[in-house]
Amino acid sequence: SLFIVIRDRRSISSDSEIYERALRNLRKNSLHSEYTLNDSRFRVWQLLEPTNISLDIDNRMSMIKSYDIPPGVNGKPVLLNSRIKQSVKQLVRKGWTTHAFNEFVSDLIPLNRSLPDVRDDWCKHQNYSSNLPQVTVIICFHNEAWSTLLRTVHSVINMSPRHLLKEIILFDDFSTMDHLKKPLDDYVRGIAQVRLRRSTRREGLIRARILAVKYATSPVVLFLDSHCECTIGWLKPLLDRISKDPTVVASPVVDTIHDSTFEYTPQNTNEILVGGFNWKLKFKWNPIPHNVLIKRKNVASPIKTATISGGLFAINKEFFARLGYYDEGFEVWGAENLELSFKAWMCGGSLEIIPCSHVGHIFRKTFPYTGQKGSLKRNSVRLAKVWMDEYAKYYYDTIGSDKIDFGNVSKRLELRKKLKCKSFQWYLENVYPSLDLPDNYAASGQIYSISNYGGCLDSSNHLYKLGIGFLPCHGQGGNQYWVYTKDGELKIDDLCLDYVFSLLMLYICKGRTSSQVWLYNAKTHHIRHMDTQKCLQVVKSKGGLIVILKNCSTSSSQKWMMENFLVG
Ligand code: LR7
Ligand code: MN
């Protein structure tokens, strides 16, 4: 069932002062474990019937019934009445632009809301050691919203056995927002477990973690993003694995907190995914490989994973130190999860996902802060230089070349030598054998037109939408990095160029069905569609140059070059 939150008639007709006051109240009350919406400033309503969100508001009103619990409780979604006042709408918009999620809705939800127990029954009958190590939970943040940050903190405290949680280190990566200054100091002063530390310049999340870990005083450290919520029983199964084997890096299952409604959606234990990556060094989720699946004792027992998503994991502090924490040359965001993943495996450890441990995370569609984009490429090149041996070139292909300023990696290479780590080839063969090697590529890189139009096939803004783009070639890979497989697929990431109902589109690969098979002829330069025997052509339209399928001809607008095309 769905809940909608509406403000009662009284407050709708009053000014935004009431909203502000209600918000202050929410914050004040949030420390108590019991929370009620009294004075009817906000009311939560439950829709009784299977809901149809497009119902108009009067229709909804006739269906709803007063419901006596606060918004978002038990992980339920919170929907705002579409008739909220203009001033509130503005607040909603402001939340989205500042944080890339619905901060207004988050602010309505109690900081200690409950979540459902989503564990498999098997988990509830596990007897974890009575002698588990203590943990330091580290939460780094940069300009995080008040309610999401503190809900993370409270959920850790509420969901962790007291004797196991040594401390929470809240590490401020040089935030600029006022609520994270004195108000936060004042707030956390009242919470015994929390130590608030701050960096003196913007470090980026990777160096922030390295700095924060030095304050930790327990044998295990556990990282969380600053917008997470832990569920019941989340901690022990992670600590249990590490206490049995200190070289295991243990990740919980990451469930989704919806960016708009804050609904909590668990991953189904039967469909748990494990981590991988592609040659763009982009983290991706994969189904559990078949040979692993058939050997599993229980759907909820720990699973080895080739990589971790990076934000949420527990690790033995000494093992982390031995691995050299993270590369300190990594800037703001990205690739540190693969660095840790590769070296954990290559240098004597392993990674696991622990299905009995569930933590929610708000997945955002964009980044509200600066510096994210540039850092990723730099970090990835450093990663490739240090850990990927001769396979690094496959990554450089996807970004054009390795000729960017990536700093100096000699210290990291020394570390790898000192630890006597195994080769990347060993890692691929033993840990991630399902990764498609570029051996199966017939071509990879740009696909450019040899017509007067000049330009490249480009997938930007066309994922899951109709058509494909045609833009000036930029030589940077990315949206212009195509893979042409020996089976005739034209791929961008995991999507295949498809032609159905007379429309070109990028679509989930269907495994060599003929609507996704393309025949490139390096002599005539045609890219011919197997199903229809038509050819890709660039044409002028009102909106600029577009790509369509036409009967094959000798026109130069049907002539294409594929980079790195293997002859034969
Ligand atoms: O400069 C910064 N300083 C910071 O302290 C930028 C960010 N941060 C903080 C930020 O407040 C947040 O707590 O770092 C954390 C991660 O940043 P997000 O939440 O903006 O990015 P994200 O959720 O995409 O992060 C994912 O990828 C990152 C790559 O560097 C890290 O590995 C994050 O930990 C990772 N998050 C997860 O793995 C959660 C599960 C998501 C998945 C898949
Ligand atoms: Mn995050």
Boundary of a domain, candidates 317, 342, 362: 362
- Nearest atom in ligand 1 to the alpha carbon of residue 334 is 30
Read off the CATH number of the domain in which 445 is found.
2.80.10.50
Residue nearest to atom 10 of ligand 1 (CA): 141
Pair of tokens at residue 441: 């590529």
Pocket probe mutation, ligand 1, options 174, 176, 201, 205, max atoms within 8 Å of Cβ: 205
Ligand 1 contact, 91 CB (< 6 A): no
- CATH number of the domain where residue 214 is located: 3.90.550.10
Which tokens is 322 given? 């031995």
Total count of domains within the chain? 3
Ligand 1 center from residue 156 Cα (angstroms): 18
Same domain, 458 and 538: yes
Ligand 1, atom 20, residue with closest C-alpha: 367
| pLDDT band for position 500 (cuts 50, 70, 90) | confident
Mean pLDDT (whole number) for 124-141: 96
Do 73 and 127 have their domain in common?
Answer: no
Residues 527 and 449 in one domain: yes
Average pLDDT estimate for 37-45: 36
- Mean pLDDT calculated for residue range 70-96: 80
State mean pLDDT over 63-91: 68
User: Residue 119 pLDDT more than 70?
Assistant: yes
Which residue out of 333, 363, 364, 379 has the highest number of ligand 1 atoms within 8 Å of its CB and is therefore the one to mutate? 333
Identity of the residue numbered 294: I
Joined together, the tokens standing for residue 267 give 């991953």
Joined together, the tokens standing for residue 251 give 């990740």
Please report whether residue 375 resides in a domain: no
Q: Which of 504, 566, 278, 517 is nearest to 399 (CA)?
A: 278
Mean pLDDT value across the chain: 85
89-118 per-position pLDDT tens digit: 888 899 999 999 999 888 878 788 889 999
Q: Is the CB of 560 under 6 A from ligand 1?
A: no
Ligand 1: nearest atom to the Cα of 285: 43
Say yes or no to pLDDT of 493 above 50: yes
Domain span including residue 461: 438-562
Distance CA 496, CA 498 (A): 6
Ligand 1 contacts CB of residue 311 (under 6 A) = yes
The reported pLDDT for the residue numbered 568 is 53
For ligand 1, is residue 309 a contact (CB within 6 Å)? yes
Which stretch of DSSP H or E encloses residue 251? Answer: strand 248-257
Q: Is 205 in the pocket of ligand 1 (CB under 6 A)?
A: yes
Q: Is 338 among the domain residues? A: yes
Q: Reply yes or no on whether the pLDDT at 297 is more than 80.
A: yes
Q: Residue 423 falls within a domain, yes or no?
A: no
* pLDDT tens digits, 368-424: 887 777 899 999 999 999 999 999 999 998 898 899 999 999 999 999 999 999 999
77 lies in the same domain as 193 = no
Strands 313-316 and 303-304: unpaired
Can you list the alpha helix ranges (DSSP code H) found in 126-166?
146-159
pLDDT at 514: 80
* Assigned token pair, 217: 């005083």
Same domain, 241 and 156: yes
The share of the chain scoring above pLDDT 90, in percent, equals: 64
Q: What is the pTM of this model?
A: 0.81
How many A from CA of 53 to the centre of ligand 2? 28
What is the per-residue pLDDT for 149? Answer: 97
pLDDT digits (tens, 9 = 90+) for 139-191: 999 999 999 999 999 999 999 999 999 999 999 999 999 999 999 999 899 88
Whose alpha carbon is nearest atom 18 of ligand 1? 225
Rounded Cα distance between 317 and 339, Å, is: 17
Residue with the nearest Cα to atom 33 of ligand 1?
311
Residues 459 and 329 in one domain: no
Same domain, 278 and 133: yes
Beta carbon of 225 within 6 Å of any ligand 1 atom: yes
Indicate whether 451 belongs to any domain.
yes
Query: Atom 1 of ligand 1 has which residue's CA nearest to it?
Result: 204
